[in-house]
Amino acid sequence: MKFAPLLAASAASLLAVPAMAQDNRDPSRDFNGPYIAIGGGGTVQGSDRGESLIFDTDLDGTYGDTVNTSAGANAFSPGFCNGAATSTANIGCRNDKDGPEYFGRLGYDRRMGNFVLGALIEGGRSEARDSVSGFSTTPASYTMSREADYQASARLRAGYTPGGGALFYVTGGGAYAKLDNRFSTTNAVNSFADNGRTNAWGYAAGGGAELMVTNNIGIGLEYLYTDVKDKDYVVNVGAGTAPPTNPFLQDGAGTDIRRSDPHFRTHSIRGTLSYRF
């Protein structure tokens, strides 16, 4: 599994906390009040199987049209694949890019006996990238990619601490990402324009554990699933130097292209270092 090396390293770091760090601690103070945290880890962008490019050939705002050649054949009959195209003529794509992530967090916990309720806000960046490609009979390839310039979430969390020292919790709430969208193609005839960065909204949910090593300092290990949705990114195909018989021009002045799946989904394993006031 992609998570295995990262999970093993993070777990080892938790187990390696010296026992002496627990000396002179007051467990009754654990997980109660405000805190700040920083963290980092790895993000996996899952393969969105079955994703494709979709088209609006008459610019009426409705996608799902077929781009046809002058002979009436489907110009994208070679098909689509998830990832960035590796060739022009053959359907082949690289896997979506996984990458590191880093973030900062502000939070507040309220402890009630062995139960803890809290809220947090978090902001950071992930290097994961999600792509999809289409192939035309020209032959040519067309690739749309996206990654988060930055992302943020506001979440609740609820957990259980067996008398202090360690907290086991679940968390969930709203998420936002500023997406950096990119388009590339080997088609040198038509003109292409896009709207670049877009806003995406959704949710994040997961769970984890936190261990207090002093009265004020804690370390943690967390899994987080994030799903944000963006339907605003569009590539506008124009005439360029193409003749009127060009497939993208068959139904009017041009064609708009969008991804079939507006969801940008990531899985993250991250470690945290917190300071409690």
8 A C-beta contact, residue 239 and residue 210: no
**Residue 210, pLDDT score:** 97
Task: Please state the φ and ψ torsions of residue 21, each to the nearest 5 degrees.
Answer: -65, -15
DSSP secondary structure of 218-276? EEEEEEEEEEEE-----EEEE-TT--TTSGGGTTSS-EEEEES--EEEEEEEEEEEEEE
**Residue 47, pLDDT score:** 62
Mind listing the pLDDT tens digit of every residue in the chain (277 residues)? 454 454 444 444 444 444 444 456 778 889 999 999 999 999 988 766 789 999 999 999 999 999 999 899 999 999 999 999 997 766 788 888 899 999 999 999 999 999 999 999 999 999 999 999 999 998 999 999 999 999 999 999 999 999 889 999 999 999 999 999 999 999 999 999 999 899 999 999 999 999 999 999 999 999 999 999 998 999 999 999 999 999 999 887 899 999 999 999 999 999 999 999 9
CB neighbours of 98 closer than 8 A, spacing ≥ 6? 2, 42, 43, 44, 45, 128
| Widest Cα–Cα separation across the chain | 82
CB neighbours of 87 closer than 8 A, spacing ≥ 6? 141
**Residue 21, pLDDT score:** 46
CATH number, span 4-15+34-276:
2.40.160.20
Domain boundaries, the chain: 4-15+34-276
Q: How far apart are CA 242 and CA 250, in angstroms?
A: 11
8 A C-beta contact, residue 37 and residue 273: yes
First CA to last CA distance, the chain: 38
* Lookup result for tokens 């009040």: 33
Q: How far apart are CA 122 and CA 152, in angstroms?
A: 5
